[in-house]
Amino acid sequence: MKHTSPSWPLRFGPRCAALLTAALLVAPPVTAAHAAPAAGGEAPSRAEIYRALALDQEPADHVILVDTSGSMAEGGRYTTVRSTLRRFLDGLTSKDHVALFTFDSRPEVRYIGAAGNSAEIVSKLPARPNAAGDTDTGAALNAALTELGRDDAASVASVVLLTDGLHHPPRGSRYPTSEGPSWDALRKRAQAIAEHTDLAGYALPLGSGATGARLVGNVVRNTSVLRPQSIQDLGSYLARAGERARARKAGLLLAEDAGKGVSATWQGGTAADVTDGRATAKLVLRSTTRHLPLTVSGLRATLTGPSLDVSGLPDEVTLEPGESRTLEVRLSGRLTASALPYRRTERRDAVLHLAGRVDSTWERPLAPDVELAVPHAIRLGQRAVPLRASVGSVVLLPALVTAVVLLVLGAWLWWRRINRPLLHGELLLAAAFGEQQPDRVGLNGRRVVLRPSSVGGRGRVQGRLRSTEQGPRIDLRIRYTPDGSTARESRATCRPGGRVVVGGVSFTHVPQQAPEPAEGLPR
């Protein structure tokens, strides 16, 4: 409960009424749905914030308790209350709910319903106070809590008490003193209401002896007792109370955005192609708030594993509630090739690191009445950033294939030169034991098929290049079968100018002058 310094005897009149109306609980209604942006990127005023939140569309409950005991007739206090109350009611919106009670020896309902028709509400007040009435503040607070405990009560509620005296209940009151079990029960009821309602109390003592106003604070924990030291202070005190009431409305709406901030995602399911060392990509920033505009400053991004530079991000991004902004960024860097240098497509997932501070231009104007729990860090929904690039040498693989082909071809030529050399001379075939003329077979090419007519049979001759101490020579490798079957095939090697017998047939080589083969070939 808040108290001001020492009281003074208030002199009520038209000036006091004007000040009270200008500042109590709710300021004049706003009509615009959105706040105009502050010039030059400056923070908006509270009035602009309230317009953006459309506070005039948010209902609030106001229970007004007016003391009508006999002492209120002194000094024109009751007349001042009537005129001040009229102007205060003019500041409420049609969405607000008003419950007007008078109290003296007992509370009495004067009006319950929507705000909007101030003249009708004020007309429900009695023309003058009850000259014989006592002051039962406890019964008045009991009536206020009963009204605020209804099922359709608003989420923002205020209890306003205007009294000029002490708590002086009549005989038989449930609240004979200013403390005790009955007051404890009132306090528990107020605490129960405050669990689901933003409940506040405002007590306006209308005289130096109006200590009964302080009893509101004994029941409603969040109570301000307005006791200005001079008539000049009254307006500022009441303006402060009115601003707090509006701030409570704003705080209740903005509580929905507590812990909500900015999320970032990398857009697109395809990998960015950084073959040329550069690429473009898109980063999406999204505000998760419902009411609160957010600003991201110092926005910077990097990619690691592999490392790439990210540029093109603005220094500052402003997001309206729920807004998404797609930012195009430039990537620079290359994917390093692995140990295999051939041309191929390399795919990697880099890790996104995003730096920046999230704030709201509403924080400073609303402080200290409304605390905005804005997470200052950007939330990353996806850290893995897919990348791809064509890496390795374009000519390496064809060169390797060509080298392998040439190697195989060279090996085959070497093998053919050794195992299939060109043949020269003639081969004489005759029966090993006989006098008939031999068959003469000319040797040319790399293999000769034998089909002798005189001795019959079938065979073939191939050469084999050997290295000897006298130099390279070509031996003849002869395969022969007398009846053409593989079962009786025999083999023999004949040196140049030599003679061998294979399968009962004599093979004699008659050399012919031929080019000398190259030296140094294997044996």
Specify the amino acid at residue 44: P
Q: End of a domain among 375, 391, 407? A: 391
- In a domain, residue 40? The reply is no
Please state the φ and ψ torsions of residue 99, each to the nearest 5 degrees. -125, 115
- Give, in order, the Cα–Cα distances in Å from 149 to each of 146, 219, 508: 5, 14, 132
Tokens read off for 342:
């051939």
Same domain, 179 and 295: no
**Residue 236 belongs to a domain with what CATH number?**
3.40.50.410
Residues 429 and 452 in one domain: yes
In a domain, 53, yes or no: yes
Q: Is the separation of the CB atoms in 385 and 272 below 8 Å?
A: yes
pLDDT of res. 368: 87
Query: Are 56 and 132 members of one domain?
Result: yes
Cβ count near 271 (within 10 Å): 18
Q: End-to-end alpha-carbon separation of the chain, Å?
A: 115
Residues 267, 237, single domain; the answer is no
Q: Which amino acid is at 146?
A: T
For residues 507 and 523, give the distance between their C-alpha atoms in angstroms, rounded to a whole number: 23
Are 384 and 458 found together in one domain?
no
Residues 426 and 315 in one domain: no
Q: Does residue 223 share a domain with residue 123?
A: yes
Integer CA distances (angstroms), 350 to 232, 310, 384, 473, in order? 66, 12, 6, 67
Beta carbons within 8 Å of 92's beta carbon, 6+ residues apart: 26, 29, 62, 98, 115, 116
Within this chain, do residues 446 and 423 fall inside the same structural domain, yes or no?
yes
Radius of gyration of the chain, Cα coordinates, nearest whole angstrom? 54
Task: Assess if residue 200 is contained within a domain.
Answer: yes
Residue 41 lies inside a defined structural domain of this protein: no
CA distances in angstroms from 259 to 368, 372, 378, listed in the order given: 18, 9, 12
Supply the pLDDT for residue 210: 64
Q: Of 210, 230, 257, at which residue does a domain stop?
A: 257
Asked if residue 33 is part of any domain, the answer here is no
Domain boundary among 342, 372, 391: 391
Query: Within this chain, do residues 203 and 89 fall inside the same structural domain, yes or no?
Result: yes
The answer to whether position 304 is within a domain reads: yes
7 and 163 in contact (C-beta within 8 Å)? Answer: no
Task: Provide the 3-class DSSP secondary structure of residue 192.
Answer: helix
Output the pLDDT for position 432: 84
Judge whether 400 lies within some domain.
no
The CATH number linked to 367 is: 2.60.40
- Domain assignment present for residue 410? The answer is no
Residues 325 and 203 in one domain: no
204: nearest Cα among 14, 22, 24, 15: 24
Burial of 330 (0-12, 13-18, 19+ CB in 10 A): middle
φ, ψ (nearest 5 deg) of residue 502: -130, 120
Give me the pLDDT at residue 519, please. Answer: 58
pLDDT by position in tens, the chain (length 523): 444 433 333 344 443 444 344 334 333 333 333 444 444 457 899 889 988 998 888 888 999 999 999 888 887 888 888 877 777 777 778 888 999 999 999 999 999 999 989 899 999 999 999 988 899 999 999 999 999 999 899 888 999 888 887 888 999 999 999 899 999 999 999 999 999 888 999 888 877 666 777 899 999 998 888 764 433 343 445 456 567 777 888 888 899 999 999 999 988 778 888 888 888 889 999 999 999 999 999 999 999 988 889 999 999 999 999 999 999 999 998 887 666 677 778 888 888 999 999 999 999 999 888 898 899 999 987 788 888 888 766 777 788 889 999 999 999 999 998 999 999 999 999 988 877 788 899 999 999 999 988 888 999 999 999 998 888 999 999 999 998 888 889 999 999 999 999 988 999 999 986 555 555 555 4
Domain range for 504: 419-510
Same domain, 157 and 249: yes
Instruction: Count how many domains the chain has.
Output: 3
Residues 242 and 354 in one domain: no
Find out whether 41 and 62 touch, Cβ atoms under 8 Å: no
- Distance CA(29)–CA(93), nearest Å, equals 6
Residue type, 360: S
- Give the rounded distance of the alpha carbon of 137 from its chain centre: 54
